[in-house]
Structure 1
Amino acid sequence: MPYKVWNGPAPTTASQAAVTTGTALKTMLQIATPSTRQIQLISWGYSIESGPSTGPLKVELLQTDVAATVTAHVASGVQNLDPNGTASLVTLGTSATGYTATVEGTPTASRVFDFATIGPNSSSAATLDYAYQWMPDERPIVAVSKFLRVRATFATAANMVCWVVFNEVG
């Protein structure tokens, strides 16, 4: 079953909220796999509102062995794309699945699944969008008890919304 998670709480009375990137490396979204399941990535992407005029902007999707300290997601923030499906088994908590890191931690091992470098934005009114969908035979698998992160490194802070779609695999 596919699940989708964003770097913010599930919207109810307001739209999906963008989060500031800051001016240093920052985990924008983190997904923690449980000890019983892996996740297989289907797609991911982001939008940057009014991209910074200085760059480059770097955004990466990677697996790490150490968690960042994040704002914890709640179960409703990890949305099953099947309305009749079950809740995700990903681990929730401030050192598990969440968004907007306050402490990055110090990973000792990582695997990079995608990376984008974006040049400076010449128009402060433009939105920068990126989305990638893997072919079925190339979909990365995040191991049990690991952390999938979307990290951003910007010279000038910008507002960003990012998301990941994944399947849970036994």
Structure 2
Amino acid sequence: MALYWASNAAMATTAAPSPVTTGTAAKTLLQIATPSTRSIKVVEWGISFDGSTAAEPIRCELIQTDVAATVTAHVAAGVQPYDDPGAPASLMTLGTSATGYTSSSEGTITATRTGDLQLISPTTLYVKQWPLGREFRVPVSKFLRVRVTAAAAVNAYTYVVWEE
């Protein structure tokens, strides 16, 4: 088993990744689509904001859904091996209705399962690591999302580390 990492931006090359605005409606910042052959175990996720004043907290969710958001598709280079740089490419499904970031449409979700739920100040960050053997598992053919709802838009970085 190998660990993989993806964020809500294209792979960084000569410039730092661009953070994504939260908006004021529910918005998926990062989505990971499991294929029909592989589940994943989430071992860590994190999110940070660039707000300049403490204000109403941002609702942050790490959820499993049955319906994809429409996202900017990650390419294979954006889903990176984390613990072993020589690991094979991730098996996660890539595409605008699969693994990607910055949703333009949330879709009509009929079922969710919550992995983590937090109210986080727009001036701070949050990181969660699960104890070994107690990771949040996402089954085959489902979608893992980092979704936020903010009272006032700020920019955010988010990432997920998973085992497949």
TM-score, length-scaled by structure 1: 0.92
Q: Equivalent residue of 2:133, what SS?
A: helix
Gaps of 5+ in 1: 122-126
Please tell me the root mean square deviation across aligned C-alpha atoms, in Å: 1.2
- Percentage identity across aligned positions? 54
Structure 1 residue aligned with 2:95: 93
What is the 5 A alignment of 1:155-166? 155-166=151-162
CA contact (8 A) 1:52 1:158 kept: no
Give how far 1:16 is off: 2.1
CA distance in 1: counterparts of 2:72 and 2:47, whole angstroms? 19
Q: Which region of structure 1 is more displaced relative to structure 2, 50-59 or 67-76?
A: 50-59
Identify which of 143, 148, 155 aligns with 1:152. Answer: 148
For 1:36, what is the secondary structure of its paired residue? coil
Equivalent residue runs for 1:124-139 within 5 Å: 127-139=123-135
Paired amino acid for 1:151: R
Note the 1:103-142 alignment, pairs <5 A: 103-119=105-121, 127-142=123-138
Indicate conservation of the 8 Å contact 1:56/1:154, yes or no. Answer: yes
> 1:22 and 1:53 mapped to 2: Cα distance?
17
Q: Distance in 1 between matches of 2:157 and 2:52?
A: 12
Which consecutive aligned stretches of 4+ in structure 1 deviate over 6 angstroms post-superposition?
none
2:85 paired residue number: 83
Tell me by how many angstroms 1:51 deviates: 5.2
Matched-pair contact (CA < 8 Å) for 2:38–2:140: yes
Contact 1:52 1:157 survives alignment (8 Å): no
Instruction: Measure the CA separation in 1 of the matches of 2:53 and 2:25.
Output: 14
Q: How far apart are the structure 2 equivalents of 1:28 and 1:140?
A: 19
Structure 2 spans left out of the alignment, 5+ residues: none
Structure 1 equivalent of residue 27 of structure 2: 26
Of the structure 1 ranges 77-86 and 45-54, higher mean CA displacement relative to structure 2 is found in: 45-54
